Amino acid sequence: MMSGPQLLSPQQQVPRSLWSLLCMTTLLLSSIQLTIATSTTSSSDDNNNGNKKDLSAGKLRQLAENALMERKFTDAESYYRQAISVEPTNSANHYKLYNLHKRMRSYGDALGDITTACELLEKSEDNDGNSSGKNKNKTMEYKRIKAKLLVNLGRCEDAVSEYKSLNEVNEDATNCAHVTNAALSAYQQSDWSAAIQHFGNVLTNYATLGDTPDLLYMKSQAEYNVGDYYGTISDTGKILKSYPQHLEAYQLRGEAYFRLNEMDMAQKHFREGLKLDPEHGGCKEGHRLLKKVTKNDK
């Protein structure tokens, strides 16, 4: 029985020399196409980067607003900072960044932004030799915003001074300063009950943004000294939520748990403090005492 015709491989159909030439040509063409594609992409990227660098402050602010609408706060912050680098003396850039930081609850940054905006406007007035008109009205508006923020941060004496620079008296700022001074005076005299009352008044009625670690810490200490350990734990917890590296708050919270005989929680807080600073005296002493007590109980 005869077998069918045998098919030749491509190499057999084409002379070896020609086949090698075709392979080399194909590889060369592929290499050329890859080089062109890479060059095009690189050129496109360079153009895009160049466009980003050449964006105007107005365009950057627009991009920031678009990012805000999508709740992309980090992107918006980046665009505003780029706008500031393009127009560093434009107070509007700093004011917009203030609004963003306040929305992000970065109140310390927000205070810095509105302070810079005020300073730039005042400097602009001095340079123009004209303290009237739009700039003056804008300066007064910004300074009132700054003063209100200072009250909300519990910095009431600073707020009173800011209003004085406007030849104004603000009832909230004045009352807040009075109560804060009463709280500090009671604290310094170890009148713990009065200190707790006054600090509570400031924190509830004036410093409402919660970014008040110093006032909260002094209130926590006063609570500890009257034996309100649960109050101490609550207020130091608020501090650590916003300031997770507050060593004194770890120590005081650990001591409050120790007083409540919650040794595991006390140990946890002393150790957290020592992770941040292995030489912190208060946390070291608390941890040493804790080990001594638990050893004696065994």
- Say how far apart CA 68 and CA 74 lie, in whole Å: 9
The DSSP code sequence of 222-275 is HHHHTT-HHHHHHHHHHHHHH-TT-HHHHHHHHHHHHHTT-HHHHHHHHHHHHH
* Residues 162/178, Cβ–Cβ less than 8 Å: no
Q: How many CA atoms lie within 13 A of 192 on its CB side?
A: 12
Q: What is the pLDDT of residue 5?
A: 41
Q: What is the pLDDT of residue 253?
A: 98
- Say how far apart CA 55 and CA 261 lie, in whole Å: 61
Q: What is the pLDDT of residue 53?
A: 59
Contact partners, residue 57, CB within 8 Å, separation at least 6: 83, 86, 87, 90, 93
Collapsed DSSP state (helix, strand, coil) of residue 206: coil
Q: What is the pLDDT of residue 124?
A: 82
Q: What is the pLDDT of residue 33?
A: 53
Torsion angle defined by CA atoms of residues 37, 40, 46 and 51, in that order, rounded to the nearest 10 degrees: -130
Tokens coding 166:
């406007």
Q: Cα 44 vs. chain centroid, distance in angstroms?
A: 34
One pLDDT digit (tens) per residue for the chain, 298 residues: 444 444 334 444 444 554 454 445 455 445 545 454 444 444 444 444 445 557 999 999 999 999 999 999 999 999 999 999 999 999 999 999 999 999 999 999 999 999 999 999 988 876 665 555 677 899 999 999 999 999 999 999 999 999 999 999 999 999 999 999 999 999 999 999 999 999 999 999 999 988 899 999 999 999 999 999 999 999 999 999 999 999 999 999 999 999 999 999 999 999 999 999 999 999 999 999 998 888 776 6
| Helix or strand holding residue 55 (H, E) | none
pTM: 0.75
